[in-house]
Amino acid sequence: MIELKNIEKYYANKGVKSYILRHVTTTIKQGEFVSIMGPSGAGKSTLLNILGMLEEPTYGTYEFMGENVTSLNERKRIELYRNHIGFVFQAYHLIDEMTVYENIEAPLLYKKVGSAERASRIANLLDRFNIVAKKDLFPNQLSGGQQQLVGIARALAAQPSIILADEPTGNLQSAQAEEIMQLFQKLNKEDGITIIQVTHSEKNAEYGNRILHIADGVVKGDVQV
């Protein structure tokens, strides 16, 4: 599903190149649950951003579903966002001015899903995540764990084939974190959604089936769990 070939990322500053990523080459198949681990500043987030097409690599090629997406125009990229990729953020990043319901609805609106279909999908998600009662609340009225649930529900609304999660439990207490990770596992196993997460925690990484260890921009280990 994802093929990275020799990805490099560096910033040139006064003639000195400071590398973030070096020679990253890897393949991620449909249905995998990959955790990217490594110390702070190792380049985990940058790698995830490149995977999510939020940043472009300085060098190398990136194929997504058999298509070269190394540098893509806005329209095509957004087409991918609408249909294939869901994002989950450490700080949830719900839109403060929207209710839970509207937050989940937003990607569907961009995808131009009909209103009946929209309503049923959202009802489904609310139900599945046990947040039906919260649908008319605003993000700041929810706990962190609940916000992250909404964040995941939002990511799932457009029925993506892959979810990119940047430290999804970083701001959560351990009990809530566990709940989220179980959810991810379930999504991966039952719905076959590919998940790539960046995490610090060994424990969270265990939920996946493959771990990429990164240090100083280089992939140091690729372990199947």
Partner 1 sequence: MFKLNLKIAWRNLWKNKGYTLINILGLSIGMASCILIFLFIRYQLSFDEGIKNEDRIYRFVTDWKYDAFDDYSNAVAIPAVKTAKNEIVGIEKAAAIFRNWNIVRVKDATGKDVIKKDETIYYVEPDFFEIFGMQWLYAKPTTALNEPNTVALSETAAKHYFGNAQNAIGKNVTMGNKTLLKVSGVFKDMPKNSSFPLNIMVSYQTYPNKNDECWDCVSSGNEFYILLKDGLKAKDIETSLAQFNKKNYADRKVAGNQNNKLEALRDIHFSEHYDNFSNLTISKNQIYGLGIIALFLIITACINFVNLSTAQAINRAKEVGVRKVMGSLRKQLIVQFLTETFLVTLAAMLIACVLAELAIPQMENLFKGNIAVGLFQHPIIFLFMLCLVLFVGLLAGFYPAIIMSGFTPALAIKSKIMLNNGGLSLRKVLVVVQFSIAIILIISTIVVMRQMEYVQQKQLGFNANEVIMVGVPNDSLNRLKHENFKERLLKIPGVKKVSYCQDAPLSPNINSSDFTFNGIKNKDFEVRRMKADEDYFSLFDLKLIAGKLFAKSDTANGYVVNETFLKKVHITNPQEAIGKTINSTGQNIPIIGVIKDFNDLSLKDNISGLTISAGKNSYWRAAIKLDAKQIFEANKQVEKLWNSLFPEQIYYSNFVNESINSQYETEKIMGILFKVFAGVIVFISFIGLFGLMSFVATQRTKEVAIRKVLGASTLELVKMLNGSFLIMVFIANLVAWPLAYLFVSKWLSGFAYRIEISIWPFAMAMIISMVITLITVSIRSYKAAVANTIDALKYE
Please state the closest distance from residue 223 (CB atom) to partner 1, in A: 28
**DSSP code for 136:** T
Angstrom CA distances, 190 to 64, 123, 193, stand at 23, 19, 8
State which amino acid sits at residue 170.
G
Phi–psi pair at 148, nearest 5 degrees: -65, -35
Q: Examine residue 118 and tell whether it contacts partner 1 (CB under 8 A).
A: no
Q: How far apart are CA 98 and CA 100, in angstroms?
A: 7
- Pick out residues in 67-96 that bind partner 1 (CB under 8 A): 74-75, 78-79, 81-82, 85, 87, 89, 93-96
Please state the closest distance from residue 107 (CB atom) to partner 1, in A: 4
Structure tokens at 52: 């999510």
Please state the closest distance from residue 206 (CB atom) to partner 1, in A: 27
Q: How far apart are CA 51 and CA 69, in angstroms?
A: 10
C-beta of 99 vs 146, nearer to partner 1: 99
The sign of the torsion formed by the CA atoms of 131, 135, 141, 147 equals: positive
Q: Which residues contact 80 (CB under 8 A, 6 or more apart)?
A: 53, 64, 69, 72
State which amino acid sits at residue 74.
E
Please state the closest distance from residue 103 (CB atom) to partner 1, in A: 9
- Pick out residues in 173-202 that bind partner 1 (CB under 8 A): none
- Pick out residues in 12-71 that bind partner 1 (CB under 8 A): 49, 52, 54-55
Stretch that binds partner 1, among 59-67, 105-113, 141-149, 208-216 (CB under 8 A): 105-113
**Count, residues near partner 1 per rule CB under 8 A:** 28
* Site residues (vs partner 1, CB under 8 A): 49, 52, 54-55, 74-75, 78-79, 81-82, 85, 87, 89, 93-98, 102, 105-107, 109-111, 154, 158
